[in-house]
Copies of this chain bind each other. A is one copy, B any other.
Amino acid sequence: MDKWHMSRMLRDMLRARAFEEATAQGYAQGKIAGFLHLYPGEEAVAVGVLHAAEPGDYVVSTYREHVHALVRGIPAQEIMAELHGKKTGISKGMGGSMHLFDASRRFLGGYAIVGETYPIALGAAYAVAYRRLPEAVICFFGDGAVNQGTFHESLNMAALWKLPILFVCENNHYQIGTEIHRHSAITEVYKRACGYGIPAEKVDGMDVLSVHAAAQKALERVRSGDGPQFLELDAYRANDPIAAAIHEAESGYPNPAAMAAAGPDCISLFSAHCCREKHLDETDIERMRQEVQTEIDAAVRFAEESAEPDMETAWSILHANRRYETLMESPE
């Protein structure tokens, strides 16, 4: 991978971290409400996978999707505005933190009900396969989500009809407060794919380069008609003081201090790698940090200054699809 790609990836990891820090701050200040599921520590997963994706691919995500949306290309300000419930948000303030959607970037949504991402991905992939297009559907989910029945149903159908889906398990070892060995009979998640004959691999989710390489290989297979592929990405919540504080805010999760043993943070790891390989130096990285901070600060300002939607907008969105239909009165 060349220098340019590496620095784009590092930049996205920094953007992601800065975005979530700003989000946590907004939440602490009461400007963002609702459930807030943050991503710090897992940036290597979103960045590694989504940098391997093509614009023609589709992405399906969960309630922990801010960073997937951001890396997929949705402008930070439109995500941030959505988190603030503003009219300028990507979902016009109707969806919120757990429901980011972007049709133009083929971002098929964040879903708040654990287990919904599979059937959505299945349907999208079905449409792609039916049209014989060389596109892939990327389906994200957590380690806790693999125990929902839809996982099983959807993987069976995906394999049966050889649908173009890359299943990506972000294994952070916890389902809220329940550790993986207490929620799954088999803790090596990729082995779950054996019941469907889906090729599966476990990859270090803290190493963005490994993630990227694995995703690229898997996506090529998917696009060339080999059927679904499965990646388990072993990841941890951030061993990083700011990220730690962020996760404290999210109730129920294990004390991030306890996670420290898991090893260094994915951003430090990749920064060190870039420096070691002489692709970048500390000054470059510091400049990047400042640039992304400027971008995120602007996004927050945009969000804060944007107007709120009104009820008329809400009704018109609900009825948007009825535009050309006569529901009751006969046309004269």
Q: Does A253 contact B (CB under 8 A)?
A: no
Most chain B CB within 10 A, of A149, A160, A185, A193, is at A185
Contact B184 A191 (CB under 8 A): no
Q: Which residues of B contact A185 (CB under 8 A)?
A: 155-157, 159-160, 196-198
Contact A191 B195 (CB under 8 A): yes
Contact A153 B160 (CB under 8 A): no
Q: Does A216 contact B (CB under 8 A)?
A: no
Q: Does A7 contact B (CB under 8 A)?
A: no
Identical copies in the complex = 2
Kindly state the separation between the CA atoms of A194 and B196 in the bound complex, as whole angstroms. Answer: 10
Contact B195 A183 (CB under 8 A): no
Kindly state the separation between the CA atoms of A275 and B159 in the bound complex, as whole angstroms. Answer: 47
Kindly state the separation between the CA atoms of A192 and B156 in the bound complex, as whole angstroms. Answer: 10
Kindly state the separation between the CA atoms of A149 and B151 in the bound complex, as whole angstroms. Answer: 8
A195: contacting residue among B148, B150, B186, CB under 8 A: B186
**Complex interface bits, A107-136 against B, C-beta within 8 A gives 1, otherwise 0:** 000000000000000000000000000000
Q: Does A175 contact B (CB under 8 A)?
A: no
* A180-213 at interface with B (beta carbon < 8 Å): 182-186, 191-198
Q: Does A106 contact B (CB under 8 A)?
A: no
Contact-residue bracket for chain A: 20 to 34
Q: Does A152 contact B (CB under 8 A)?
A: yes
Nearest-CB residue, chain B, relative to A153: B149
Q: Which residues of B contact A149 (CB under 8 A)?
A: 148-153
Q: Does A147 contact B (CB under 8 A)?
A: yes
Contact B197 A195 (CB under 8 A): no
Kindly state the separation between the CA atoms of A149 and B146 in the bound complex, as whole angstroms. Answer: 11
Q: Which residues of B contact A191 (CB under 8 A)?
A: 194-195
Q: Which residues of B contact A155 (CB under 8 A)?
A: 185
Nearest-CB residue, chain B, relative to A162: B185
Nearest-CB residue, chain B, relative to A196: B185
Nearest-CB residue, chain B, relative to A227: B185
Shortest CB distance A214–B (Å): 21
Shortest CB distance A191–B (Å): 7
Q: Which residues of B contact A148 (CB under 8 A)?
A: 149, 153
Q: Which residues of B contact A196 (CB under 8 A)?
A: 185-186
* A280-322 at interface with B (beta carbon < 8 Å): none
Q: Which residues of B contact A183 (CB under 8 A)?
A: 160
The 10 closest A-B pairs by CB, nearest first: A149-B149, A152-B152, A159-B185, A195-B195, A160-B185, A192-B195, A185-B196, A194-B194, A149-B153, A156-B185
Given contacts A186-B195, A191-B195, 17 further A-B contacts (CB under 8 A): A147-B152, A147-B156, A148-B149, A149-B150, A149-B151, A152-B152, A155-B185, A156-B184, A156-B185, A157-B185, A159-B185, A160-B182, A160-B183, A185-B196, A185-B197, A185-B198, A193-B195
24 A–B contact pairs at CB < 8 A?
Answer: A147-B152, A147-B153, A148-B149, A148-B153, A149-B149, A149-B151, A149-B152, A151-B152, A152-B152, A156-B184, A156-B185, A159-B185, A159-B186, A160-B182, A160-B183, A160-B185, A185-B197, A186-B195, A186-B196, A186-B197, A191-B194, A192-B195, A193-B195, A194-B195
